[in-house]
Amino acid sequence: MGGIFTQLFPPKPTFTEKNVPSLVGKVFIVTGGNSGVGLELVKILYSRGGTVYIASRSTTKIDAAIATIKSIFPKSSGHLKSLRVDLSDLRTISACASTFLAQESRLDVLWNNAGIAQAPADSTTAQGHETNMGVNCLGPFLLTKFLLPILLHTAKASPTASVRVVFTSSCIVDVAGPPGGLLLSEHISGNFSKDKNYNYSSSKADDPIMGAYTELWAGLSPDVKCEDGGKCALPWGRWHTDPRKDILQSMKSKEEGGTGLSADFWDWCEQQTEAFAAM
C-alpha cells in the first residue's frame, strides 16, 4: 500500500524544463504527442531545440498541435514533424517507421506515450485483439521493434545511457493489475475478459505538465543509468521502490526463481506481430 500512497502524494519534481540542456541536434518521437501529457512533453523538447516527431492517428490534430506549440515558442530552433500511426491497426506501424527512417539518421528517445483507457469490453483492434492490449502493448511493441536498429546506431555514438525507450503506464498496475500482471489465456480471441478495468490494468501502464515531468525524467535525466533498464518511474521523476512482489516475480525467469511470465508475454507479442514485422 505504501507504493500507492507515494504515487497519490508524490514529492515535488526534481527534473523540469529548467534542468533540460540544449537539445539541438537530438531527435525524439512522442506517440500521442498532440494532447495531454504527451503535448506538454513535446512543448518542453521543442522549446529546448529538439527535433520532435508527434505520432498520432489524426494528422489534423497533429498539425493543430504543431501550430499551437510554435505560437508558444516562436524563437525555438527546434523542429516539429508529423507521423501518422494507428496503434489499433498493426498494418500502419511499418509505414510510420518507414516515414521516420526516410528522414532521420538518429533517434535519441522514443516515448511510447499514447494509450487508451477502459475501451468497451467487446471492442477489438483491426487484428482482433482486445483493444486495451492492442493499443497499449502490441502497437508500441511493434513500433519499438522497427525503431530498435536506429536507436542502437544512435547509442553507439552517444553518451552512455542517453538513448532510451520509455513506456507510459499507470498506477492502476499496482491497484488493480491481475496476479503477476496479466493472464495470457484471457487475450486469446474469443476469451477476452468483460471487465473494462481489468482489461486496462492488464495492458498497462492533475496537471498534464506534471505527468510530462515524469516522462521527461525517465527520458532525459542524467540520473537514469543503464542498470535502471526495466524499472518503473513514479511521479514526478523517481524510481518505484515498492513494486508488487508478484510482478517482480513475473519479470524473473523460472531459472531465477520467478514465474517467467514476462518472457512468455514477450514471446506472445512477437507471435501476434510477426505477420506485420516486415518493412
Answer yes or no: 70 catalytic: no
Return the closest-CA partner of residue 51 out of 82, 31, 78: 78
Q: Can you list the pairs that 218-224 forms with residues at least 24 positions away whose Cβ atoms lie under 8 Å?
A: 218/164, 218/166, 219/28, 219/109, 219/111, 219/164, 219/166, 220/15, 220/20, 220/109, 221/15, 221/19, 223/15, 224/161, 224/164
Catalytic option among 200, 201, 202, 250: 200
The verdict on whether 204 is a catalytic residue reads: yes
- How far is 147 from 6, CA to CA, in rounded Å? 34
Q: Is 169 among the residues known to form the active site? A: yes
The kind and range of the H/E element at 164 are strand 164-167
Peptide bond into 266 cis (omega under 30): no
- Of 47, 56, 88, 169, the active-site residue reads 169
Distance, in Å, from the CA atom of 41 to the CA atom of 73, rounded to the nearest integer, reads 14
Grid cell 522514443 in the structure block, residue: 110
Q: What's the residue count for the chain?
A: 279
Largest CA distance in the chain: 55
Residue among 35, 198, 204, 213 flagged as catalytic: 204
Q: What are the residue numbers of the active site?
A: 169, 200, 204
